[in-house]
Structure 1
Amino acid sequence: MNPRTVLITGATQGLGRGIALRLAAQGHTVLLHGRDRARLDAVAAEIRSTTPDAPDAPDAPVRTYHADLSDLDQVRAMATQVREREPRLDALVNNAVAGGGVEPLRREVSRQGHELRFAVNHLAPYALTRELLPLLTASAPARVVNVASIGQEAVDFDDVMLEHGYEGLRAYCRSKLAMIMATFELAAELAGTGVTVNALHPAHLMDTEGVRAYGLTPVTGVEEGVGPTVRLITDPALESTTGRYFDQFTDARAHEQAYDASARRRLMELTRALVGQSVPDGVVST
């Protein structure tokens, strides 16, 4: 297996940390993202201590990127750093997540004033992917893996930011469906470029801080979600697979709204406007 360079968002705990440890153990270079500098450095040190290369070498198999993905300005700044510092990027794993929250009835907003779950779980990964496409395309074949969820709820285009009847888990489920819809759209746009885009539900109610914070009882360990995610990153058999949603290892069907072309188009028009992206060359806005 050829060594890859993989950027993992939300890599300081839970699933992201597990993915990073697995990939590093397999000999891949891991680029860790986190919003907590101390946790970020701790995971990097953990990986360096368990890899055979000299931990202080300039080409050590782990590098870190610090940003708060609830701020689109920081998302763009991190993407610029990655483009400037990394000679290649074989995979981007959009794993960072805002869960249902400790106070699920308290509506929170991002730095730009967008509903927090929609911002972190949908807008940030879309913006980061878009900003890193030049590097991903230059490194092709390359992969984008969006860590979604089996918890999905239709986006209400009359109240996308859930200003009425707010509840954290509902916001989370809507944002994850938005992520899947964007996965399908971006995969179609990138057909023929060598960059694939897929989404997955890694495992049910893993033992993570987000699950516990909402008050749910974990039913599986993080490792159960690591395997399906790493497979989408590295399995040679999936090199040309794109625009799919997986329930762990199974190619599955997402919420029905994900297959509504009109709904996807409305979502992407809104998404491009919110992240400040112009319509790409060759794509007609309707």
Structure 2
Amino acid sequence: MARIFITGSTEGLGRAAALALIAEGHEVVLHARSRQRAAAVADIVGQSGGIVTGDLASAVETRAVADGVNRIGPMDAVIHNAGIYLEAHRGNTPEGHATTLAVTALAPYMLTGLIERPKRVIYLSGGMHRGGSGSLRDIDWVTRTWQASQAYSESKLYVATLACALARHWPDVLSHSVDPGWVPTRMGGPSAPDDLEMGHLTQTWLATSTDPAAISTGHYWHHRRRQQPAAEVVDPGFQDRLIDRLAELTGVALF
């Protein structure tokens, strides 16, 4: 049995992954943005290893989430599932960051640095990461005109890159990113054409399996098949520049 923490596990792919792992006998630690959102998992929280709450748009609350996870105990795996899709406006987090960047990239980075190091870590990226800019100029959208789709694509490029950087710097941790596909969740919409079940089974497999493929590291996956990510993802120079920028924006030194 493994102990696994899943961010954004009150609905969609996060909840589906939690249910699948609980059914397999694993101890799943849930996450909700707020106490109100935690009500959505009231039916499964009794079968879980606990729940932590905190809004990942806030650096203060993200730190509190990490503290809550650490109080529960060491995790065997962390699945960074939470994200934001196509926000109409840049937004403004308590620290002044773009909301899409904060939730989808800054929070996973911070949690990676603040949660006691697990054995495995999985980041949800997506095919749109290939449309992310290779430039790290103004990643927080301070001077650029807001473009929701571009901001989302860039945030997914950053988490895929983070997974590869982690594999390079932390060889004792199995680190991957996953494209779950365009699946019919609240985020993806009811007309999304991809398979909802396959959308979460890759991350649960990477979190627990002893299959030789799953115990490799540093790969990008879609439906349990390795895929070639954007060139920036596997570029050590881009990885290092990104990590430096994320450290500057969050105050968390990862390596």
TM-score scaled by length of structure 2: 0.92
Q: Does 1:166 align with 2:154?
A: no
Out of 34, 46, 56, the residue aligned to residue 36 of structure 1 is: 34
Q: Is the 8 A contact 1:206 1:221 kept in 2?
A: yes
Q: Is the 8 A contact 2:183 2:196 kept in 1?
A: yes
Q: Is the 8 A contact 1:145 1:232 kept in 2?
A: yes
C-alpha distance in 2, partners of 1:146/1:173? 14
**What displacement does 1:240 show?**
3.2
Larger Rg: 1
Alignment identity in percent?
Answer: 28
Out of 90, 96, 100, the residue aligned to residue 82 of structure 2 is: 96
C-alpha distance in 2, partners of 1:70/1:61? 24
**What displacement does 1:93 show?**
0.3
C-alpha distance in 2, partners of 1:117/1:248? 25
- How big is the alpha-carbon RMSD for the aligned residues of Structure 1 and Structure 2? 1.8
Q: Provide the residue aligned with 2:43 in structure 1.
A: 46
C-alpha distance in 2, partners of 1:259/1:180? 9
AA aligned to 1:184 is C
AA aligned to 2:43 is E
Unaligned stretches of 5+ residues in structure 2? none
Q: Does 1:202 align with 2:180?
A: yes
Q: Provide the residue aligned with 2:251 in structure 1.
A: 276
C-alpha distance in 2, partners of 1:46/1:66? 16
Q: Provide the residue aligned with 1:284 in structure 2.
A: none
Q: Provide the residue aligned with 1:264 in structure 2.
A: 239
Q: Provide the residue aligned with 2:48 in structure 1.
A: 61
AA aligned to 2:122 is V
Q: Is the 8 A contact 1:47 1:62 kept in 2?
A: no
C-alpha distance in 1, partners of 2:85/2:178? 16
Q: Is the 8 A contact 2:11 2:40 kept in 1?
A: no
Q: Does 1:81 align with 2:68?
A: yes
C-alpha distance in 2, partners of 1:226/1:85? 24
Cα distance change, pair 114–155 in 1 and its aligned pair in 2 (3 A):
farther
What SS class does the counterpart of residue 265 from structure 1 fall into? helix
What SS class does the counterpart of residue 62 from structure 1 fall into? coil
Q: Provide the residue aligned with 1:182 in structure 2.
A: 162
Which 4+ runs in 1 deviate beyond 6 A?
Answer: none
Q: Does 1:248 align with 2:235?
A: no
**What displacement does 1:221 show?**
4.5
Q: Which moved further from structure 2: 32-41 or 173-182?
A: 32-41
Any idea what the Cα deviations from partners look like across 1:225-259, whole Å, max 9, x if unmatched?
12212111111014531111112211111111213
**What displacement does 1:279 show?**
6.2
Any idea what the Cα deviations from partners look like across 1:249-275, whole Å, max 9, x if unmatched?
111111112133222221111111111
**What displacement does 1:77 show?**
1.3
Q: Which runs of structure 2 are paired with 1:97-176 in the superposition (5 Å)?
A: 97-101=83-87, 103=88, 106-134=89-117, 136=118, 142-152=119-129, 153-162=132-141, 163-176=143-156
